[in-house]
Amino acid sequence: MPLSTHVSTASGQTRLLAEGSRLVFGRGPDVDLIVAAGRGLSRRAGMVTMLAAGAWIADISRTHALYVEGEGYQVRLPRMEDDEEPANGWFVRTGTALVGSRAMLDEGQSLVVAVTLASEAVPRGAGRKDRAQPAGAGLTGAGLTGAGPTGAGLADEVRRTDVLDLVNGSGQTEVEDAESAGAGTLLPFYLDPMTKLFLVALIWCRPWLLDPSATRPLPRTPEIARGALEVTGAYHELERFDADPDYRDLLAARVAEHIKVLRRKIADRGLAAADVRLSDEVAVRILIEHGIITSADLSRLDDPAWRSRQEDLWWTQG
């Protein structure tokens, strides 16, 4: 039977996540679920990704700590890495987990992430009575070690009980990762809208978001660079871009590096078979089909606050 994931706030807001969807929460305003909390919680604090096997919770803040708590454990999640994407998190197979800043947990104001069979109801406040047990896969590269069995016994334990795992983003423990090496494990792939990488991906995908028949040609790196100038309002640079080949090549090279990162992330997450060449068309199709870039993201192009933030990223911060 399929799983269902509900994310609830202390004030009673509840969001239901479908498989393959993700929810960003924080103090807002540029989040999917605004949480009324003090400054101990980041404006963009965390992300919940719903997979077929359960829910993956990650900290997407570089400045604030985020915790996951259940019966007999409290874990601090690793903060966002420099490559603008969370690499580690807490995986909820079934059961409930409390999520928030330390103050939110202490004051009973945490979010509740509940993963149940689709037919089961999820009462608010069930977080401290779940059957989940922490399984000791360890947190790769984060300097933490989970409690519980290790080695081959862990894989057996994972298969026979509802558990919470501290994992490397795949929704699998390290033992399971080793067992399924080369099997094309699907990892969560999230692009933070407040990054240059996201803008490049959005401009790259824009023709096919506007034309689902995918007959429009995709922009190449110089066209994406020009699009970034337009989106960020750098009109004073457009004339130079069109007239100065060296400047045009410089910006196109920067965009090419972002495209290279997007291709690497697609490959690392197993979203394309190892023998598939990630052409522009293949990569863009993957970004759209997996909901990494969506038609709803096009509205950001008309959002002055988002465009201003992108302007700062591209032309102020270098």
Question: pLDDT digits over 265-285, tens only?
Answer: 888 777 888 788 999 999 999
What is the reported pLDDT for 29?
84
Length of the chain: 318
Sheet containing 73-76, strands listed edge to edge, beginning at the edge strand earlier in sequence? 14-17, 3-8, 111-117, 95-100, 67-70, 73-76
For residue 68, with 0-12 CB atoms within 10 Å meaning exposed, 13-18 middle and 19 or more buried, which class applies?
A: buried
Paired sense of beta strands 22-26 and 33-34, if any: parallel
pTM over 0.75: no
Using 70 as the pLDDT threshold, list the residues of the chain that sit under it: 1, 72-73, 80-87, 118-188, 317-318
Q: From CA 50, how far away is CA 57, in angstroms rounded?
A: 9
d(CA 175, CA 272): 23
| Amino acid 63: pLDDT | 84
